[in-house]
Amino acid sequence: MRLIRFIALLFIVLKASLSMAQVPAFDKLEMLYDQRHYKIVHRKANRLLDNPEYDFSMIPKYYKAISSLQLVQDQYWKANIRKRWKKHLPT
C-alpha cells in the first residue's frame, strides 16, 4: 500500500513540475533583454512570431514591443532605420 502511495505521489510531483516547464526560447528572450541586447531580442521575437508553433503565447509580441521601445530611444538605431527606409522609398 505504501508503494502505491509513493508511486502516486511521485507521479503527481513529476506531472506538476513538467506542466510548469517554460519554453527555452522565451527564457532566452528574457535573458537577452535583461542583458540589454535589444536588437537581438527584436530579431528573435520577430522570428518566433513567424513560427506557427509559438502562436499560443503573447510573450514574443511583448518582447518585440518593449525592445522596439528601447531601440527607438537609441539615436544610432533610428538613423540606420531611416537610411534603410530611404532606400526602399521612391524618389
Q: Is residue 82 part of a domain?
A: yes
Q: Which domain holds residue 57?
A: 22-88
Q: Is residue 6 part of a domain?
A: no
Determine the Cα–Cα distance for residues 85 and 56; give it in Å rounded to an integer: 32
Q: Tell me the per-residue pLDDT of 26-79, one tens digit each, with 9 for 90 and over.
A: 999 999 999 999 999 999 999 999 999 988 889 999 999 999 999 888 877 777
Question: What total number of domains does the chain contain?
Answer: 1
Q: Is residue 9 part of a domain?
A: no
**What is the predicted pLDDT for the residue at 20?**
55
**What is the predicted pLDDT for the residue at 63?**
95
Q: Is residue 51 part of a domain?
A: yes
The pLDDT confidence band at residue 19, using thresholds 50, 70 and 90, is low
Q: Which residues of 5-43 are buried (b: 16+ CB within 10 A; e: fewer)?
A: eeeeeeeeeeeeeeeeeeeebbeebeebbeeeebeebbe
Q: Is residue 3 part of a domain?
A: no
Q: Is residue 16 part of a domain?
A: no
Cell of 89: 522609398
Q: Is residue 14 part of a domain?
A: no
The pLDDT confidence band at residue 4, using thresholds 50, 70 and 90, is confident
- In this structure, the number of other CB atoms found within 10 A of the CB of residue 4 comes to 8
Residue written as grid cell 513540475: 17
Q: Is residue 2 part of a domain?
A: no
How many CA atoms within 13 Å lie on the side-chain side of 90?
0
